[in-house]
């Protein structure tokens, strides 16, 4: 069933696949037992959880004992960073991260820096790429953790994780990657990436919200943050979200469909960009279309504010996002766009389209039909655009 709106905000969240919902359904009602209990119903649910863990581990090329279930990407990032830094205090308290990380990483690192730690934030290129040489330079004797995202959630840049992990391994520093935007969208193999800790979130790949996982390589010391009933081999207490875990595993099993549609999504993003530049001038691309997540398109429109475009698109039943101050919940535009080197007055005019496997060429046609007119109308309303 196709919804009566065009959804182009898959980096924010995805719809749960109906097959995922079917897999989850019994675990809300008939199969509600706590998997930590000893009777048959509990043991059966424990089996379901462990089967999910094994399935996720197969997809990531790791052992099931290296997968820990969490409440989502933010918890995974908090646990990874605080846990690794607190476990490594004998070595030091210095962290290296990048300027374009999600707030779940950046704010956690800043919190630790404000509480006795030290932080180095490496810059990025104009298309959001981290230079591994900058990471190598930033690592010191007292560095306990490097945290660099696998792909950026605003511009879609895929970071050189393999090159960075070669450096962290040589220097003997733990490496965490926030893979919330990549798991289920492009192939993610923890051995090939060479990371020690990896965060993921179910709702970004057609799974349910409120569930995620953390991969922790065997032998990696990460302090426990959630204390309580001793679930997850005493490393993350809390009653397991059985429907969520089962749904997330089912979604990852279906992720091949997303990965197979990558070329189609990339072609749609390219067609949207070509069409918009032909119909509306003064657009600047923030996404490197040759190295980005499939179906990602972030650009700035000169002379227009992003939230105004977003709301006008909403009136046309098209869902997108923007990095303008009005949409970040603060008075500052997106920290990612500023890190790319955009001046604030330019970053206010950003729009982000993130496509998913249910989008079609007809959706692109519909956007090309309305967006150029929206841009023209808002530019005509602007006192500064092409001021004479």
Partner 1 sequence: MQYSQKVLDHFANPRNVGVIDDPDGVGEVGNPVCGDVMKITIKVKDNRIEDVKFQTLGCGAAIATSSMVTELAKGKSLEDAETISRDDVASELDGLPPAKMHCSNLAADALRAAIADYREKVETG
State the catalytic residues.
326
Listed in order, strand segments (DSSP E) in the chain are: 6-7, 67-70, 94-98, 118-122, 143-147, 174-178, 197-201, 212-216, 283-285, 296-301, 318-319, 350-354
Q: Is 312 in the site for partner 1 (CB under 8 A)?
A: yes
The correct pick among 162, 343, 361, 369 for binding partner 1 (CB under 8 A) is: 343
Q: Is 303 in the site for partner 1 (CB under 8 A)?
A: yes
With a CB cutoff of 8 Å and minimum separation 6, the contacts of 231 are: 36, 237, 238, 239, 240
Residues 347-366 within binding reach of partner 1 (CB under 8 A): 348
The correct pick among 86, 111, 273, 385 for binding partner 1 (CB under 8 A) is: 385
User: How far apart are CB 300 and partner 1 at their closest, in Å?
Assistant: 12
Q: Is 311 in the site for partner 1 (CB under 8 A)?
A: yes
The correct pick among 222, 265, 325, 342 for binding partner 1 (CB under 8 A) is: 325
Q: Is 145 in the site for partner 1 (CB under 8 A)?
A: no
Query: Binding residues for partner 1, how many (CB under 8 A)?
Result: 26
Site string for partner 1, 42-61 (x = CB under 8 A): --------------------
The correct pick among 116, 172, 219, 329 for binding partner 1 (CB under 8 A) is: 329
**HSE of 100, CA atoms in CB hemisphere, 13 A:** 29
If we measure between CA atoms, which residue out of 272, 277, 316, 278 comes closest to residue 294? 272
Between 21 and 319, whose beta carbon lies closer to partner 1?
319
Question: Which range touches partner 1 (CB under 8 A), out of 59-67, 156-164, 241-249, 325-333?
Answer: 325-333
Question: Which range touches partner 1 (CB under 8 A), out of 44-52, 110-118, 187-195, 342-350?
Answer: 342-350
Question: Which range touches partner 1 (CB under 8 A), out of 24-32, 129-137, 233-241, 340-348?
Answer: 340-348
Q: Is 283 in the site for partner 1 (CB under 8 A)?
A: no
| 11-14 LR contacts (CB < 8 Å, sep 24+) | 11/153, 11/154, 11/156, 11/181, 11/204, 11/293, 11/296, 11/321, 11/352, 11/354, 12/321, 12/354, 13/203, 13/204, 13/209, 14/203, 14/204, 14/205, 14/206, 14/207, 14/356
Q: Is 380 in the site for partner 1 (CB under 8 A)?
A: yes
User: How far apart are CB 343 and partner 1 at their closest, in Å?
Assistant: 8
Q: CB of 240 within 8 A of CB of 36?
A: yes
Which 3-state string (H, E, C) describes 64-107?
HHHEEEECCHHHHHHHHHHHHHHHCCCCCCEEEEECCCCHHHHH
* Interaction site with partner 1 (CB under 8 A): 303-308, 311-312, 315, 324-326, 329-331, 333, 343-345, 348, 380-385
């Amino acid at each position: 069933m196709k919804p009566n709106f065009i959804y182009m905000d898959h980096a924010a969240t995805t719809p749960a696949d109906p097959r995922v919902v079917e897999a989850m359904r019994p675990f809300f009602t008939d199969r509600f037992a706590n998997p930590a209990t000893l009777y048959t119903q509990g043991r059966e649910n424990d089996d379901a959880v462990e089967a999910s863990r094994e399935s996720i581990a197969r997809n990531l090329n790791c052992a099931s004992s290296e997968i820990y279930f969490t409440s989502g990407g933010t918890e995974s990032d908090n646990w990874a960073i605080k846990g690794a830094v607190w476990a490594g205090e004998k070595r030091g308290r210095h962290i290296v991260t990048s300027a374009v990380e999600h707030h779940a990483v950046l704010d956690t690192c800043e919190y630790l820096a404000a509480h006795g730690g030290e932080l180095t934030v490496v810059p990025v290129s104009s298309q959001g790429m981290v230079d591994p040489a900058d990471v190598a330079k930033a690592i010191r004797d007292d560095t306990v953790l490097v945290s660099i995202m696998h792909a950026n959630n605003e511009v879609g840049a895929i970071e050189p994780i393999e090159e960075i992990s070669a450096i962290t391994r040589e220097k003997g520093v733990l490496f965490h990657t926030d893979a919330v935007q990549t798991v289920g969208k492009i192939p993610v193999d923890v051995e090939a990436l060479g990371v020690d800790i990896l965060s993921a979130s179910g709702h970004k790949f057609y799974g349910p919200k409120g569930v995620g996982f953390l991969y922790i390589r065997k032998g990696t010391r990460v302090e426990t943050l959630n204390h309580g009933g001793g679930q997850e081999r005493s490393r993350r207490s809390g009653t397991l979200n059985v429907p969520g875990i089962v749904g997330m595993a089912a979604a990852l099993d279906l992720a091949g469909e997303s990965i197979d549609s990558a070329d189609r999504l990339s072609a749609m993003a390219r067609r949207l960009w070509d069409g918009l530049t032909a119909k509306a001038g003064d657009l600047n691309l923030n996404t490197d279309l040759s190295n980005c997540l499939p179906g990602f398109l972030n650009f700035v429109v000169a002379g227009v504010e992003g939230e105004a475009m977003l709301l006008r698109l909403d009136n046309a039943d098209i869902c997108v996002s923007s990095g303008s101050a009005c949409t970040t919940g603060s008075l500052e535009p997106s920290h990612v766009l500023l890190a790319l080197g955009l001046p604030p007055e330019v970053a206010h005019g950003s729009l982000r389209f993130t496509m998913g496997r249910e989008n079609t060429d007809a959706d692109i046609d519909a956007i090309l039909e309305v967006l150029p007119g929206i841009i023209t109308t808002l530019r005509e309303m602007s006192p500064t655009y092409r001021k004479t």
